[in-house]
Copies of this chain bind each other. A is one copy, B any other.
Amino acid sequence: MLAAETEFNRSIGDLSGRMPKVLRIGCFEPFGALFMPEMLRSYLDSVGDVEIDLVEADQIQLQERLVAGQIDLAILYDIGPIGIDSVTRVCKVPAHAVLNADDPLATRDGIWLAELAARPLVLLDLPHTATYLLTLFDVLAKRPEVRFRTRSYETVRSAVATGFGMAILKMRPIGRATADGDEIVRKPIFDELPPPTLIVADMYGSAKPLFVRVFIEMFHRFFTAVGPGGFSVTTPEREPFLLVARDG
């Protein structure tokens, strides 16, 4: 363990001449504002300045761009088909409910999907995301009426704040500039749902270049430091199981 830490620190000290000038990272669209700048800040504070080219795309586009060599890394969920073999699992992010603060359910400790199904839905309409979400309802409750469709996490939040209905999201915002307003409330869902896992995918397999290894290590440290209470909305008894062990 100590040897690994020493090796890691040596690698970093050694990195200045071996970093690409531009770091080309793909991430699932909502992650761009939710945590990427914070995470990249801590990465650059350690390894020195590089230009960041952040490619925000959907789960399908990210895998295509990775295979085409347009990005060095992709950060996504393991929902839907993942055709990339070289994957590092970071943490599980359970779905939670996003309610207008005026909703009577907003005072509760948590909510059942069957209760949410009676409300109109503001749907994050991205490939696989919408399927994952509607499948949960189909399995555990009746499907809610879709009232508002959008590709944007931020628009989902605005639409719930403006009274269009409830939403189901996974990640909670971590970035400094995207805090929720007073008009929305996030609550755990009591049902046992399969939580998507946040993964870092690359095309290098066991031959990862140093900057990729360092990025993945920093990424894992970032989510460990933020902790389940910072990135997820879930019940207290589930929180201890959300972080994936470093070699997991």
Tell me whether A161 and B149 are in contact in the complex, defined as CB-CB below 8 angstroms, given that A36-B155, A155-B54 are known contacts: no
Q: Is the CB of B183 within 8 A of A180?
A: no
**Contact partner, A176, options B29, B51, B151, B183, Cβ 8 Å:** B183
Does A46 interact with chain B (Cβ within 8 Å)? Answer: no
Q: Which residues of B contact A179 (CB under 8 A)?
A: 181
Determine whether A196 belongs to the interface, using a CB cutoff of 8 Å to chain B: no
Max chain B C-beta neighbours (<10 A), residue from A146, A152, A183: A152
List 7 extra interface pairs beyond A54-B155, A162-B175, A179-B181, CB under 8 A.
A32-B152, A32-B155, A41-B162, A54-B150, A56-B152, A161-B177, A178-B178
Interface residues of A in 7-27 (CB under 8 A from B): none
A149: contacting residue among B41, B53, B152, B183, CB under 8 A: B53
Proximity bits, A20-59, B CB within 8 Å = 1, else 0: 0000000001001100111011000000010111111000
Q: Residues 156-188 of chain A: 1 if any B CB is under 8 Å from the residue's CB, otherwise 0?
A: 011111111000000000011111110110000
Could you show 16 A-B contacts with beta carbons less than 8 Å apart?
Answer: A32-B154, A32-B155, A33-B158, A36-B155, A37-B161, A41-B164, A52-B147, A52-B164, A154-B154, A158-B175, A158-B178, A161-B176, A161-B177, A162-B177, A177-B183, A179-B181
Chain A stretch 50-89: residues in CB contact (< 8 A) with chain B: 51-56
Chain B residues with CB under 8 A of A38: 158, 162
Q: Which residues of B contact A180 (CB under 8 A)?
A: 177
* Residues of chain B with a CB closer than 8 A to A181's CB: 176-179
Bound together, the chains give a CA A45 to CA B33 distance in angstroms of: 31
Q: Top 5 nearest A-B pairs by Cβ distance? A: A33-B154, A161-B177, A32-B155, A158-B175, A37-B162
Chain B residues contacting A55 (CB-CB under 8 Å) are: 151
Set of chain B residues within 8 Å of A211, measured between Cβ atoms = none
A222 at the A/B interface (Cβ < 8 Å)? no
Partner of A33, one of B32, B148, B157: B157
B152 touches A33 (CB 8 A): yes
Q: A131-159: which residues lie under 8 A (CB-CB) from chain B?
A: 146-152, 154-155, 157-159
